[in-house]
């Protein structure tokens, strides 16, 4: 028998509070950092938090499956699938920068039905259920009403493949820099999406993101009243370039991000 999202949410938030304690405990310790790629890191904390979450969430929803960053064999979620990033912002974590998040999304009925973004070092937990709005520490959050783009704060991120895509990335960034009030790069897509949902940023865009980077934040932004699409304004799906905004500056951002022959 399927458990309703509202009941699931309470159980998941209990698990997230425990995982946040684990992150904060590890925050005080020396970092044991290994390389997955030239600039792609993994720490013992990533592994420990992911193992904890998989064990506890399987108890919350027996029979559920996982697409989790450090152990995923597929990027395609099935029904009742937890999509997990144990430490989004591992590079930040390794350097003691507090923009570090745990992101948990539940894929159900062809979409993200529940999402939690916990930013444990900064003491903020964002969550949403489909049709239930977006929340932070028990208070409702909404996207901003700020426009035009010249008065908007935009966030972005850079892919691990930056050495191959630097010209494309810098070209987009240049166009946004001259049109927006400012651009920020905190290094954790889940945090950026939560901040769009909370009205702190008017827009966030990034390419080459994985399902665990975006699942929970995607739902947060939509439930907070915002818009999430690909760069060209068409429907977002895992594996596509992501643009999330307050809706009011969305078309302006699409116009800046789309260039001939690029999505």
Model confidence pTM above 0.85: yes
**Residue 213 counted as an annotated binding residue:** yes
Dihedral sign computed on CA atoms, order 74, 75, 80, 86: positive
**Residue 69 counted as an annotated binding residue:** yes
**Residue 85 counted as an annotated binding residue:** yes
Determine the CATH number of domain 149-257.
3.40.190.80
Within 10 angstroms of residue 4's Cβ, the number of other Cβ atoms is 9
CATH 3.40.190.80 residue ranges for the chain: 149-257
Give the tens place of pLDDT for each residue, 6-64. 788 999 999 999 999 999 999 988 777 776 656 456 789 999 999 999 999 999 999 99
- Percent share of the chain, pLDDT over 90: 84
Within 10 angstroms of residue 74's Cβ, the number of other Cβ atoms is 10
Mean pLDDT, residues 177-181 taken together: 97
Determine the CATH number of domain 5-141.
3.30.540.10
Give the tens place of pLDDT for each residue, 186-243. 999 999 999 999 999 999 999 999 999 999 999 999 999 999 999 999 999 999 999 9
Q: Is the pLDDT of residue 99 over 60?
A: yes
CATH 3.30.540.10 residue ranges for the chain: 5-141
């Amino acid at each position: 028998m399927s458990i309703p999202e509202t009941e699931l949410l309470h159980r998941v938030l209990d698990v997230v509070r425990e995982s946040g304690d684990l992150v904060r405990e590890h925050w005080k310790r020396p970092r044991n950092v290994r390389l997955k790629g030239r600039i792609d890191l993994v720490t013992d904390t990533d592994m420990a938090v992911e193992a904890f979450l998989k064990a506890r969430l399987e108890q919350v929803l027996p029979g559920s499956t996982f697409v989790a960053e450090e152990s995923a064999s597929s990027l395609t979620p099935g029904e009742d699938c937890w999509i997990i990033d144990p430490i989004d912002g591992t590079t930040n974590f390794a350097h003691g920068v507090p923009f570090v998040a745990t992101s948990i999304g539940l894929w159900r009925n062809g979409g993200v039905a529940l999402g939690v973004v916990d930013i444990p070092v900064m003491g903020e937990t964002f969550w949403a259920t489909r049709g239930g709005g977006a929340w932070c520490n028990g208070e409702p959050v909404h996207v901003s009403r700020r426009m035009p783009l010249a008065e908007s704060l935009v966030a972005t991120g850079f892919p691990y493949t930056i050495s191959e895509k630097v010209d494309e990335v810098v070209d987009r960034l240049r166009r946004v820099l001259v049109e927006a009030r400012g651009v920020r790069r905190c290094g954790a897509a889940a945090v950026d999406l939560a901040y769009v949902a909370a009205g702190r940023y008017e827009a966030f865009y990034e390419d080459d993101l994985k399902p665990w980077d975006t699942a929970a934040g995607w739902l947060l932004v939509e439930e907070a009243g915002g818009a999430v699409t690909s760069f060209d304004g068409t429907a977002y799906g895992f594996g596509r370039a992501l643009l999330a905004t307050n809706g009011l500056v969305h078309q302006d951002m699409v116009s800046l991000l789309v260039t001939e022959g690029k999505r």
